[in-house]
Amino acid sequence: MTAQKDIFLYNCWYVAAWDHELIDGKKLARTILEKPIVLYQGESGKYVALDDRCCHRGAPLSMGRIEGDDIRCMYHGLKYDPTGKCIQIPGQDRIASSLVVKSYPVEERGHLIWVWMGDPELADPDLILDYPPLHDSDWKGLPAYLHYDANWLLIVDNLSDFAHLAFVHTNTLGGSEEYAYTTKPVAIERLERGFRVERWHMNAESPPFHKKVIPDKEARIDRRNIGEMLIPGVFFLQTLFSPAGNGAEKGNLEGSRQYRNCQFMTPETRRTTHFFWNYMHNFDLENSNIALSLRDSLFEGFYEDKAIIEAQQTLLDNDPDFRLRVIAADEALTHFRQVLAKLIKEEKEKKIT
């Protein structure tokens, strides 16, 4: 089996949770890059991420008690501050400096809780892949989470090619198999830490998820998707639906409706993934049923992805010698995998994990 250090990139920010998962004193036990950590919000509002294992006898701190910004292990009562240092042992005055648990840099942006699993010295908050629509009142959506029994790169692969919309999501997000035959990415831009792809579908029927939230269901539309996939597995998607023939491709956005979608793939282990997303819209903002309908539609669509990707993972696990073949549509995902492999190799060579 590949050594753990060979598969994950450590020195980057990963989404660990939505902030609502930590309200009301919740101690969230979550494994990230095969490390069990506990996440909580201290009473001052500060977010804390620590190894979820007491350094005394190894009990989980997620079964502990928050006291101010500190956490007390509820086995023998050792108390840790947010840096992971043991600051109290009931019935003992001297505390050895070796009594520590590892703490991880943690930040909140746009309702997402980000953690840095690598060298804390390198954890620059400016490197967080903040998504502005998450804190812009022009956009409305609902946060969501799914757990996958599959390696995160299989989900990255899936999102890297919109052609799968036509086959996996014919009746939900895609709309027709025609999408795969008649549309091509107009441009795949290779980025230093990912790629950007743009795809148009002219004079088409609205896909089912969009039809559900608009009054003019039968009107033909011109559809544009612009996707950006960034290291370590962060996907931003801008979607535009414009009245067909209106000239959206030349910049006339009159009568258009738009969506902004962010998706975050965080490895739990080498074969399981935390998947966070929010699918936001910019029309009829006072109607909260739109966000609910979109979230339901996206769940429906992502369950379709999950079924095929988890089945794929099982088959790949069963035959490690199986060689994947490449088609033209794989250009973007191939580039992404190459960039990631290069960064992991550099990190290993510099020993900065």
Q: Is 56 in the site for ligand FES (CB under 6 A)?
A: yes
Residue placing its CB nearer to ligand FES in the complex, 55 or 117:
55
Choices 44-52, 56-64, 234-242, 331-339; region in contact with ligand FES by CB under 6 A: 56-64
Rounded to whole angstroms, the Cα distance separating 84 from 67 reads: 14
Q: How far is the CB of 105 from ligand FES (least distance, A)?
A: 24
Binding partner of 305, given ligand FES, Fe ion, none, CB within 5-8 angstroms per partner class:
Fe ion
Preceding peptide of 320 cis, ω within 30°: no
Binding partner of 76, given Fe ion, ligand FES, none, CB within 5-8 angstroms per partner class:
ligand FES
Residue with tokens 């009594």: 99
Q: Is 295 in the site for ligand FES (CB under 6 A)?
A: no
Q: Are 121 and 7 in contact (CB under 8 A)?
A: no
Q: Is 309 in the site for ligand FES (CB under 6 A)?
A: no
DSSP string of 72-99, one letter each residue: E-TTT--EE-TTSBEEEBTTB----TT-
Q: Is 205 in the site for Fe ion (CB under 5 A)?
A: no
Classify residue 351 as left (phi > 0), alpha (psi -120 to 50) or beta.
left
Q: How far is the CB of 26 from ligand FES (least distance, A)?
A: 20
Q: Under DSSP, is residue 256 helix (H, G, I), strand (E, B) or coil? A: coil
Contacts of 24 (CB under 8 A, 6+ apart): none
Binding mask 78-97 for ligand FES (x = CB under 6 A): x-------------------
Residues 3-12 as b/e (b if ≥16 CB within 10 A, e otherwise) read eeeebbbbbb
Q: Is 76 in the site for ligand FES (CB under 6 A)?
A: yes
Q: Is 54 in the site for ligand FES (CB under 6 A)?
A: yes
Residue placing its CB nearer to ligand FES in the complex, 73 or 343:
73
Q: Is 75 in the site for ligand FES (CB under 6 A)?
A: yes
- The CA-based diameter of the chain, rounded to the nearest angstrom, is 78
Binding mask 274-313 for Fe ion (x = CB under 5 A): -------------------------------x--------
Residues 259-268 as b/e (b if ≥16 CB within 10 A, e otherwise) read bbbbbbbbbb
Q: How far is the CB of 115 from ligand FES (least distance, A)?
A: 22
Choices 41-49, 50-58, 221-229, 337-345; region in contact with ligand FES by CB under 6 A: 50-58
Contacts of 113 (CB under 8 A, 6+ apart): 15, 16, 17, 18, 19, 21, 22, 39, 47, 106, 107
- Name the site residues for Fe ion (rule: CB under 5 A): 305
* Residues contributing to the site for ligand FES (CB under 6 A): 54, 56-57, 59, 73, 75-78
